[in-house]
C-alpha cells in the first residue's frame, strides 16, 4: 500500500517541505533508508544520516534546522517519534486479522467465547473460562479453568494463563509468558527441608497492559498479584507473589521483584533491577540499570542507581571516587610506610 507525503502530512497535521507527491510503501531506520521508505529523525545524534539517507520521506520535529541540503521530502510535526509510532499503529491496524477457531483447539463446553475471535491450533480453553470479543489466541496457548479475558486482547504462541486469573481489555501478552504460576513460598521444617505453602490466590491484570516474552508473574499466596492499568513489562521479568505494580509503570528486561512489594504508579525501571520483598516504592521512582533495592523508597520522583542503590546524584559523585581507588590505595600505603618509618626513628 502506497501513501503520498501529502496524505501522511494530512494524517499527522504536519507541514511538508519538498514534493508532496512523493510516495512511500515501507518504513525504515534513517541509517538504513531506501527509495520508497519513510523514516524519522528525533535524536540529534542521528542527524548526520539525514544528509545521506536514501529514504524518500523523513519526519522531523517542527523546530529542526538542517545543517546542509536535504534530499528527502520532510514532514515537520510536533514530535517526530510519536508521529512515527502513530503511523506504525495505523499500518498495523490495517493488516487483516485472523478469525475463527482451529479444529485442533480444545474448548471446554462450559467456556464462553466472544465474537470475532481467533483461537489457533492446539490451544486449550478451560472450564468456565470467558474469552472476550476480538481476542487473538495464537497456537499452543493455555487458559486455565475459571480465567477471564477482556475484549481486544492478544495472546501470542505458548502463553500460559493458570486457573482463576483475570485479564483486562486491550492487553497483549507475548510468547512464552506464564501468568499465575505458584509463588515461591516454602516454610523451613528442619535445617535441610522445606514444606510448600499452597498458593491459593490469583493474578489480576488490568486494561491496556503489555507484557513481553518469557515473563513470569506469580499468583498470590492469598488475595491477588496485581498489574495495574497501562503497565508495560519487557521480556524476561520475574514478578513475585502478592506484588502490586502501579498504573503506567514501565519495567525493562531481566528485572526481578520479590514477593509482597508495592510499586507505585508512573515508575520507570531500567534492565536487571533487583527489588527485595515487602518493600514500598513511591510513585514516579526511576531506577538505573542493575540497581539493587533493599529498602523502601519513600520520596516520589526519586532517582536511584547502583548496588546497593543510592541517590543518583550521590552515585555519580561516588563513581568519580571509584575510579581513583587504586591510586588512593597506593597513596595510603605510601603514607603508612612513611608513618612507620618516622615512628621507628
For the stretch 86-89, contacts whose Cβ atoms lie closer than 8 Å and that sit 24 or more positions apart, written own/partner, are 86/12, 87/8, 87/11, 87/12, 87/27, 87/38, 88/27
Q: What does the pLDDT read at residue 235?
A: 98
Q: What does the pLDDT read at residue 338?
A: 87
Which pLDDT tens digit goes with each residue over 270-313?
Answer: 999 999 999 999 999 999 999 999 999 999 999 999 888 767 77
Q: In this model, does residue 214 exceed pLDDT 90?
A: yes
**How many other CB atoms sit within 10 Å of the CB of residue 28?**
18
Q: What is the pTM of this model?
A: 0.84
> What's the chain's Rg over C-alpha atoms?
27
Place 247 in a pLDDT band, splitting at 50, 70 and 90: very high
Q: What does the pLDDT read at residue 291?
A: 94
Which residues make beta-bridge pairs with 280? 262
Q: What is the mean pLDDT of residues 31-43?
A: 95
Q: In this model, does residue 1 exceed pLDDT 90?
A: no
Place 326 in a pLDDT band, splitting at 50, 70 and 90: confident
Counting residues of the chain whose pLDDT is more than 70, the rounded percentage is 100
CATH class of 103-314: mainly beta
Half-sphere exposure of 83 (CA within 13 A, CB side): 24
Active site residues: 241
Q: What does the pLDDT read at residue 323?
A: 81
Place 157 in a pLDDT band, splitting at 50, 70 and 90: very high
Whole-angstrom distance, CA of residue 55 vs CA of residue 62? 19
Per the structure block, which three cell numbers stand in for 44?
A: 540529534
Q: In this model, does residue 209 exceed pLDDT 90?
A: yes
Place 174 in a pLDDT band, splitting at 50, 70 and 90: very high
Domain with CATH 3.40.1390.10 in the chain: 3-94
Q: What does the pLDDT read at residue 317?
A: 76
Q: In this model, does residue 266 exceed pLDDT 90?
A: yes
Domain with CATH 2.160.10.10 in the chain: 103-314
Give the CA angle between residues 267, 234, 153 to the nearest 5°. 100
With the C-alpha atoms ordered 299, 303, 306, 310, is the resulting torsion angle positive or negative? negative
CB 115 within 8 A of CB 97: no
Q: What is the mean pLDDT of residues 154-161?
A: 98
Question: Per-residue DSSP letters for 126-164?
Answer: -TT-EE-TT-EE-TT-EE-TT-EE-SS-EE-TT-EE-TT
Fold held by 3-94: 3.40.1390
With the C-alpha atoms ordered 267, 271, 274, 278, is the resulting torsion angle positive or negative? positive
Place 82 in a pLDDT band, splitting at 50, 70 and 90: very high
With the C-alpha atoms ordered 46, 51, 53, 55, is the resulting torsion angle positive or negative? positive
Q: What does the pLDDT read at residue 329?
A: 87
Give whole-number Cα distances, 41 to 23, 87, 212, in Å. Answer: 18, 14, 26
- Mean pLDDT score of the chain, rounded to an integer? 94
Amino acid at each position: 500500500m502506497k501513501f503520498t507525503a501529502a496524505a501522511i502530512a494530512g494524517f499527522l497535521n504536519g507541514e511538508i517541505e519538498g514534493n508532496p507527491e512523493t510516495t512511500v510503501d515501507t518504513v525504515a531506520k534513517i541509517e538504513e533508508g531506501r527509495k520508497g521508505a519513510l523514516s524519522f529523525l528525533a535524536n540529534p545524534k542521528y542527524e548526520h544520516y539525514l544528509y545521506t539517507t536514501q529514504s524518500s520521506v523523513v519526519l522531523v520535529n517542527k523546530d529542526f534546522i538542517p545543517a546542509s541540503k536535504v534530499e528527502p521530502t520532510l514532514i515537520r510535526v510536533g514530535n517526530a517519534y510519536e508521529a512515527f509510532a502513530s503511523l506504525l499503529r495505523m499500518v498495523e491496524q490495517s493488516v487483516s486479522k485472523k478469525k475463527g477457531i482451529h479444529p485442533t483447539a480444545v474448548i471446554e463446553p462450559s467456556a464462553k467465547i466472544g465474537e470475532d475471535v481467533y483461537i489457533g491450533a492446539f490451544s486449550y480453553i478451560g472450564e468456565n473460562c470467558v474469552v472476550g470479543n476480538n481476542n487473538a489466541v495464537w497456537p499452543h496457548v493455555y487458559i486455565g479453568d475459571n480465567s477471564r479475558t477482556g475484549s481486544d486482547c492478544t495472546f501470542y504462541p505458548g502463553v500460559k494463563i493458570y486457573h482463576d486469573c483475570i485479564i483486562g481489555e486491550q492487553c497483549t501478552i507475548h510468547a512464552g509468558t506464564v501468568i499465575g504460576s505458584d509463588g515461591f513460598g516454602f516454610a523451613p521444617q528442619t535445617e535441610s527441608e522445606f514444606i510448600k505453602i499452597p498458593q491459593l490466590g490469583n493474578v489480576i491484570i488490568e486494561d491496556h497492559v503489555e507484557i513481553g516474552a518469557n515473563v513470569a508473574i506469580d499468583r498470590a499466596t492469598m488475595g491477588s498479584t496485581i498489574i495495574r492499568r497501562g503497565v508495560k513489562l519487557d521480556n524476561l521479568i520475574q514478578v513475585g507473589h502478592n506484588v502490586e505494580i502501579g498504573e503506567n509503570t514501565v519495567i525493562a528486561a531481566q528485572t526481578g521483584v520479590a514477593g509482597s512489594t508495592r510499586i507505585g504508579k508512573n515508575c520507570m525501571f531500567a534492565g536487571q533491577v533487583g527489588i527485595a520483598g515487602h518493600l514500598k516504592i513511591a510513585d514516579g521512582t526511576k531506577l538505573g540499570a542493575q540497581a539493587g533495592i533493599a529498602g523502601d523508597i519513600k520520596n516520589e520522583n526519586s532517582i536511584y542507581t547502583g548496588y546497593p542503590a543510592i541517590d543518583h546524584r550521590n552515585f555519580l559523585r561516588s563513581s568519580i571516587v571509584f575510579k581513583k581507588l587504586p591510586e588512593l590505595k597506593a597513596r595510603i600505603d605510601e603514607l603508612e610506610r612513611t608513618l612507620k618509618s618516622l615512628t621507628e626513628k
